[in-house]
Amino acid sequence: MVATLFTNRIGGVSHSPYATNNLAFHVGDNAELVAENRRLNEAIVGRTQFMNQTHSDVIALVDGISPQDPNADGLVTTEPGVALGVLVADCIPLLLWSRDVVAAVHVGRKGLLNSVALNAVTVMASLGAEKIEAVLGPSICGKCYEVGEDVYEQVSERYPFARAITSKGTLSLDLPAALSHELAEHGVKITRSSICTVENPNFFSYRRDGVTGRQSGVICL
């Protein structure tokens, strides 16, 4: 039995600009308030392992909660009761599962290009995962992720499904579309959130607000 959760800004104790349910320590918020937010969330999903995310392609195998967050952008476990968490504010919180293996992955533009999600699928498969399913949580959408021409060309050359136009008619990237297509090509069954973190004020958005908090995607066997 797999449980998944995507948090938003609601239900925490942090103050503006982190109001209210900020789960990240590294963004300038009061550490005691972040710890309380994490406690409130763990009351729902159980003890959660987060990671020190750097837009890398590194996947860490987790067999228990560690006091030190691993340096990784994807976590994989086969341990029931060990929740895995990814922190985001516009990037895609990607949760993957099969019967006995789960993963939480941080996928932004760099992560799409370095194939961090496929690395997680490979690690899961090496642990016996079959019939992998995935859900892409709320993230910046193709109408909002405006980019310059260089970045547009760099990404869309390799990921034609990323080609998009903003609502004002400029070049943009649809990262969820590109990631969904890539995972589907590798046999992963996809579900996608239709929520855009820039457009929906109930979510933290780095693109919209700059200094802000982080919401999470959490998965647990």
Spatial separation of the C-alpha atoms in residues 78 and 76, rounded to whole Å? 7
On the CB side of 211, CA atoms within 13 Å amount to 5
Q: Site mask, Zn ion, residues 102-141, x = CB under 5 A?
A: ---------------------------------------x
- Told to check if 199 binds Zn ion by CB under 5 A, we report yes
- Told to check if 91 binds Zn ion by CB under 5 A, we report no
Smallest separation, CB 174 to Zn ion (Å): 10
- Told to check if 183 binds Zn ion by CB under 5 A, we report no
Smallest separation, CB 220 to Zn ion (Å): 29
Tokens of 179: 């990631």
Tokens of 98: 């099969």
Which of residues 70 and 142 has its CB atom nearest to Zn ion in the complex? 142
Number of Cβ atoms within 10 Å of the Cβ of 75: 28
Smallest separation, CB 79 to Zn ion (Å): 36
Q: 19-78: which residues touch Zn ion (CB under 5 A)?
A: none
Phi first, then psi: give them for residue 23, nearest 5 degrees: -105, 5
Sign of CA dihedral 45, 49, 55, 61: negative
Residue with tokens 């547009």: 152
Smallest separation, CB 194 to Zn ion (Å): 10
Contacts with Zn ion by CB under 5 A: the residue count is 6
Give the interface with Zn ion as residue ranges (CB under 5 A): 141, 143-144, 196, 198-199
